[in-house]
Amino acid sequence: MLPGAPGGGGAGGRGLLRWLGLRLWSRRGTLLFALLWFGSWLFLNGLVLVHRSIMSDFCTDDKSRKILQRLCLDFRRGALSGDLCDDLCVGGLVEYQRCLYYENGKKVMEARWRGNRVILKSKLENFSSYEPLGLLDYQEAGEQLSALDVVFYATLEVRNSLGLAEEEEEGGRNGSLWGQNLKLREKSYSRADLGSLWALLQQEEYTFLRVLQDLSPHVAQVLGSCGHFYAVEFLSAGHAWDQNLFSMDEASAPRAPGSGGWSSRLMVHQVALSFMDLVQHFDNDFTHRLHLCDVKPENFGIRKDLTVVAIDVDMAFFEPKMRDILEQNCSSDDDCNFFDCWSRCEPGRHRCSPNRRNTNLQVICEKIFRPWFSPTLLGAKAGLPLQVELQRAVQDCSETDGGADDEGAARRVHQRLLAVLRALLQEEVAPEDRKWTKDEPEHVHTALNF
């Protein structure tokens, strides 16, 4: 008999309510269980996706070796070429050492090439990830491009990558990009040659370094390439956690025969002078000013002679491209800050000014010189007259807006800081060793034309 059937009385009524309650609880329980199961499924899948995303850019030796194995597989089947390929894939003269970092798809590794340490880089992991050269689709079978055609198309791509207008580059120096090899090469270029060249030209950093390495001592040298990977010189990079920012252990600064060598502070002042030379060079020695929008110790290295070198130039732009980047819609000055390159919001236009407000030197003073020359690190020497003057000069440099609106102020700050650093260098070097100090190089103006 069902609960609540005739004859059940009051007990039957209570039984009916209990039965209905169990049915309702069962339905709620089922719904809650389903919701919990669905929520758990979403959480676990999200966790897997996040894990895959993180791990995809996680730097491992195993993954790096597999990337290079795929590179060599493409080389053996004739898909790519380069002056590094034979040594890497056939002769065994390129020895993988370690993975340095993966970041936003960019792969950076350390290797030894014929006994010398080098850095291998590529913006993307696989050769097939780069856009192919469309011009090859219009070629007939067996037809090949001449060296002159290659120079022409490469130059167009470089202009586009660097943001340089065509009319500003006429009458150019193609040799500054490719040397004379392209012009003098007798044989034509294969599809593997052209595909590899095109993959390299799609990497702004490669283009930048390749263009500037013959024009400036302050950029890393490109030593060779294989497909989409290119090798640059190995340099001791800076570290934000190091009180000296750069390790001076491997440096071999000029020194007098029989002298006891240079102190760490002395080498710091020499490196600071090289930073000043880099700023002067990037501001004045090209057709267009070169802006550094990501200034941090990790993006610079030093050679054994203490020359400062820009080793990561993903965020470096010539003036025309810098103006295009800065000139955006805005409601306040905060909207006009592009990493370390700042502009002002023009109230009437609600557009950021295309003129950069701060300077390369100002940012270097703030992020490099201030940590170096702080009273805490100087210790007992912090109260010496020249050290006090240096701290004041660095402070003024960090706070002076000396962009296009007031280049005179920037020039005065630069000269003052340069004078103090030179005086400190001469003061710390023994008189008999002063002829061995490294004076700031004199640069001849070189127009960036190609």
pLDDT for 23: 56
Average the pLDDT over each of 149-158, 381-390, 398-407 and give the range with the smallest value: 398-407
The residue length of the chain stands at 450
The C-alpha atoms of residue 406 and residue 388 are separated, in whole angstroms, by 26
For residue 329, report the phi and psi dihedrals to the nearest 5 degrees: -65, 150
- Here the tokens at position 34 are 């389903």
Exposure letters 106-116 (e unless 16+ CB within 10 A, then b): bbbbbbebeee
Residue 447: pLDDT over 70 = no
pLDDT for 255: 52
Band (pLDDT 50/70/90 cuts) for residue 190 is confident
Band (pLDDT 50/70/90 cuts) for residue 137 is low
Average the pLDDT over each of 245-254, 273-282, 311-320 and give the range with the smallest value: 245-254
pTM exceeding 0.85: no
Residue 132's Cβ-count burial label (10 Å; 0-12, 13-18, 19+) is middle
Looking at 57-131, list the stretches that DSSP marks H as alpha helix, in order from N- to C-terminal side.
61-76, 85-89
Q: Taking residues 322-330, report their average pLDDT.
A: 96
Average the pLDDT over each of 12-16, 30-34, 291-295, 418-422 and give the range with the smallest value: 12-16
Bigger pLDDT: 32 or 83? 83
Q: Give CA angle at 100 (97, 103), nearest 5°.
A: 145
Residue 444: pLDDT over 70 = no
pLDDT for 224: 96
Exposure letters 171-181 (e unless 16+ CB within 10 A, then b): ebebebbbeee
Query: Where along the chain do its domains lie?
Result: 56-134+150-163+190-234, 236-252+262-326+360-428
Q: How far is CA 17 from CA 11, 25, 28, 31, in A?
A: 10, 12, 16, 21
The C-alpha atoms of residue 416 and residue 410 are separated, in whole angstroms, by 10
At a CB cut-off of 8 Å and minimum separation 6, what does 15 contact?
A: 3, 4, 8
Residue 252: pLDDT over 80 = no
Torsion of CA 29, 34, 36, 37, to 10 degrees: 140
Bigger pLDDT: 15 or 120? 120
How large is the C-alpha radius of gyration of the chain? Answer: 31
Bigger pLDDT: 278 or 4? 278
Dump pLDDT digits (tens) for 153-186: 778 888 888 888 654 443 333 334 443 344 445 5
Residue pair 357/340 in contact by the 8 Å Cβ criterion: no
pLDDT for 223: 96
Residue 285: pLDDT over 60 = yes
Residue 440: pLDDT over 70 = no
Amino acid sitting at position 27: R
The rounded mean pLDDT for the chain is: 80
